[in-house]
A and B are shown apart, each in its own frame.
Chain A
Amino acid sequence: MEYLLTTNDITKQYGKQKAVNAVSIHVPQGAVYGLIGRNGAGKTTLLKLICGLASPTDGDFSLFGKTGRETSEYMSRIGSLIETPGVYPNLTAAENLKIKCLAMGIRQKTVVNELIEIVGLSSAEKKKVRNFSLGMKQRLGIALALVGSPDLVILDEPINGLDPQGIAEIRETIFRLNKEKNITFIISSHILEELSKIATDYGIIHNGVLLQELAREELLSKCCERIELKTDDTRKACTVLENMGITKFKVVDTDTIHIFERLSDSGEITMELAKNQVKTIYIAVKNEALEDYYLSLTGGEENV
């Protein structure tokens, strides 16, 4: 597999504390890499090391196959939004973008307007950033990360503090840029459900150590994504499922069944149950399994 970025036992130590301890991640070209970890796990420090904002105590990283000093000429191919968006509050979105364009030597006048349009800030073009909502600032932060058409965009907790609509908009923007412009993303988050909707690869980090790295398919197979079904007659429902040819299911309690196959057939299941006089109280495809899996890796719920 072709990796755009790999870290080689990268370590960052502050005093006696190792914020990042010999982490080796592998980010494939065109991936949306989800970096999962609780607050203080070392996600931001790792991302700062990759962005060049901090120097590693030990180890290094390879970017486009280049390592060490050779990576320096490719660092401008990385766009980043680390922690909160770094913007000048007394300037407009366009002026903030213009400043970064000037720093990167970008002279095309259309770039700023294009970026404003991509992140959906056209209506607030002339508004000072100090009057922006958190979601708008976050989108401006993403626009700043996109200046210079980077190949790799690093977003640290991009949906923190956003309302559901804002989260959906950001998710849609990332998805679109990944598909249309083939931009590789590294997104850190502790909101696992949200990350699971978009990430193609995952790295799970805990106490500065990378616990596991896996592709979406591997994670799903480990997590056993399932249909959660609640009925008024569990025994009869089991018979109906068996008659439908569904064998991978488990009765969890008196009224709940977990089904591990044909996850897209929940409508069919409901109709079949209804035909057999079984009332469906609740049915949904559940993603919490990712959280369960994460908890099992990191050692329990007290860590979240």
Chain B
Amino acid sequence: MYNLVKMDLYRLFRSASTYVMIALAVFVACFAIFMTNLGLNMMKDVPASDIDNVDADTAISSFGIFVDTNPQWIDGDIDVSEMLGAQLKSRMALILVSVFVVLFFAAERKNGFIKNIAGMFHNRSIMVAAKFFAVAVQVFVLFAAYAAFTMISCLIFWGDRLVLSSVIELLSLLGVQYFLHFAFACFTVFLCLLSNSSALCIAIGILLCSGFGSLIYNLINYVIGRSFSVEKYMLETTISSVGAGVSSDIALRAVIVGVIFILASTSISMLIVQKRDIK
């Protein structure tokens, strides 16, 4: 398995898509902060009562990609953790994860390279385990680029107003969010294996990131009963609920959801690869 991990990492860093992914992560991070700054400047001219109404309207919407802004950011200090949390909750980085992880994972099946190596391993499931490790590195690279350039952009736009209230809070936010992004990557890899279609998998990933999953979740909630809320246990909705200073209950639930998704995706993917013939 060690050899397979080395192989996947070699390919990851030789692949042009990795560098496109990093460039896009940097661009999206900078663009999101630019747009947030634009929004904050516009909010300066809006009366405080109207800002509350705008927030209420935004809260109702469960579709699309948007960054929640704190009205205190208009004139007051901006906490790095809070801003980074808001950006990660918007699921923009998650869209990049869902696209580039699928591209990386599906490449060897699309071009047939897998035929060169799959026969050597009686236990083909180790190929999946190695791939998940490489995907963890890929998500880490993307996540690091996104987080770093979000903070650099914050520094450029609001340098004098930028504060870091707690390093631990920032690190725990990054840790939990990275874990959830990786879990989502595992889930997309599983979908990719199951469907044998990278296009379908990317489409599902983007739709989930855009909030279209709530249509299905509402239906499930309706069928099960009002007291149940399935979105609490889904990855993309959990990602949107974990910001800076989140309660330990929510953080713990998020980690449990992540662990369950990683274990389920990994084990089922291993089973699929072991049982299914290589085409």
* A interface residues, Cβ below 8 angstroms from B: 48, 51-55, 69, 72, 75-76, 78, 80, 82-91, 95-96, 98-100, 102-105, 144-145, 147
User: In whole angstroms, what is the CA distance A102 to B4 when docked?
Assistant: 7
Using Cβ atoms and an 8 Å threshold, which residues of chain A touch B7? 99-100, 102-103
B119 touches A104 (CB 8 A): no
Subset of 27 A-B contacts with CB under 8 Å = A48-B277, A48-B278, A51-B119, A52-B118, A53-B119, A55-B277, A69-B122, A75-B122, A80-B116, A83-B112, A83-B115, A84-B112, A86-B116, A87-B112, A88-B107, A95-B14, A96-B113, A99-B10, A99-B113, A100-B7, A100-B116, A100-B117, A102-B7, A103-B7, A103-B120, A104-B3, A104-B117
Q: A52-B120, A88-B11 are in contact. Are A105 and B3 (CB under 8 A)?
A: yes
Which chain B residues (96-152) contact chain A, with CB distance < 8 Å? 107-108, 111-122
Nearest Cβ on chain A to B105's Cβ, whole angstroms? 14
Q: Is B161 on the interface with A (CB-CB < 8 A)?
A: no
Task: Pick from A54, A89, A95: contact of B277, CB below 8 A.
Answer: A54
User: In whole angstroms, what is the CA distance A104 to B7 when docked?
Assistant: 9
**Which A residue's beta carbon lies closest to that of B11?**
A99
B278 touches A91 (CB 8 A): no
Q: A102-B6, A105-B3 are in contact. Are A86 and B119 (CB under 8 A)?
A: no
Q: A52-B120, A99-B7 are in contact. Are A88 and B113 (CB under 8 A)?
A: yes
Using Cβ atoms and an 8 Å threshold, which residues of chain A touch B10? 98-99, 102
Nearest Cβ on chain A to B118's Cβ, whole angstroms? 6
User: Count of B residues near A, CB < 8 Å?
Assistant: 25
User: In whole angstroms, what is the CA distance A85 to B113 when docked?
Assistant: 8
Using Cβ atoms and an 8 Å threshold, which residues of chain A touch B117? 100, 103-104
Q: Is B16 on the interface with A (CB-CB < 8 A)?
A: yes
**Which B residue's beta carbon lies closest to that of A148?**
B120
- Chain B interface main SS type: helix
B277 touches A53 (CB 8 A): yes
Q: Which 10 A-B pairs have the closest CB atoms?
A: A86-B112, A72-B122, A52-B119, A54-B277, A102-B7, A51-B119, A53-B278, A86-B113, A103-B7, A105-B3
Nearest Cβ on chain A to B31's Cβ, whole angstroms? 27
A53 touches B113 (CB 8 A): no
B16 touches A90 (CB 8 A): yes
Using Cβ atoms and an 8 Å threshold, which residues of chain A touch B108? 86, 88
Using Cβ atoms and an 8 Å threshold, which residues of chain B touch A102? 3, 6-7, 10
User: In whole angstroms, what is the CA distance A48 to B15 when docked?
Assistant: 28
Nearest Cβ on chain B to A82's Cβ, whole angstroms? 5
**Which B residue's beta carbon lies closest to that of A80?**
B119
Which chain B residues (1-29) contact chain A, with CB distance < 8 Å? 3-4, 6-7, 10-11, 14-16
Using Cβ atoms and an 8 Å threshold, which residues of chain A touch B3? 102-105
Nearest Cβ on chain A to B82's Cβ, whole angstroms? 40
Using Cβ atoms and an 8 Å threshold, which residues of chain A touch B122? 52, 69, 72, 75
Using Cβ atoms and an 8 Å threshold, which residues of chain B touch A54? 277-278
Nearest Cβ on chain B to A121's Cβ, whole angstroms? 16
User: In whole angstroms, what is the CA distance A89 to B120 when docked?
Assistant: 23
User: In whole angstroms, what is the CA distance A147 to B7 when docked?
Assistant: 14
Nearest Cβ on chain B to A148's Cβ, whole angstroms? 9
Nearest Cβ on chain B to A273's Cβ, whole angstroms? 54
User: In whole angstroms, what is the CA distance A297 to B266 when docked?
Assistant: 49
B111 touches A75 (CB 8 A): no
Using Cβ atoms and an 8 Å threshold, which residues of chain A touch B118? 52-53
Q: A54-B277, A84-B112, A102-B7 are in contact. Are A91 and B120 (CB under 8 A)?
A: no
Nearest Cβ on chain B to A137's Cβ, whole angstroms? 11
A89 touches B119 (CB 8 A): no
B119 touches A78 (CB 8 A): yes
**Which A residue's beta carbon lies closest to that of B107?**
A88
User: In whole angstroms, what is the CA distance A96 to B114 when docked?
Assistant: 12
User: In whole angstroms, what is the CA distance A83 to B4 when docked?
Assistant: 24
Using Cβ atoms and an 8 Å threshold, which residues of chain A touch B16? 90
A80 touches B278 (CB 8 A): no
A87 touches B113 (CB 8 A): yes
Using Cβ atoms and an 8 Å threshold, which residues of chain A touch B120? 52, 75-76, 78, 103-104
A87 touches B111 (CB 8 A): yes
User: In whole angstroms, what is the CA distance A82 to B108 when docked?
Assistant: 14
Nearest Cβ on chain A to B107's Cβ, whole angstroms? 7
A88 touches B111 (CB 8 A): yes
Nearest Cβ on chain A to B279's Cβ, whole angstroms? 8
Using Cβ atoms and an 8 Å threshold, which residues of chain B touch A52? 118-122
A78-B120, A86-B111, A104-B3 given; name 17 further pairs at CB < 8 Å: A48-B277, A52-B119, A72-B122, A76-B120, A82-B115, A83-B115, A86-B115, A86-B116, A87-B112, A88-B11, A88-B108, A88-B111, A88-B113, A90-B16, A96-B113, A100-B7, A104-B120
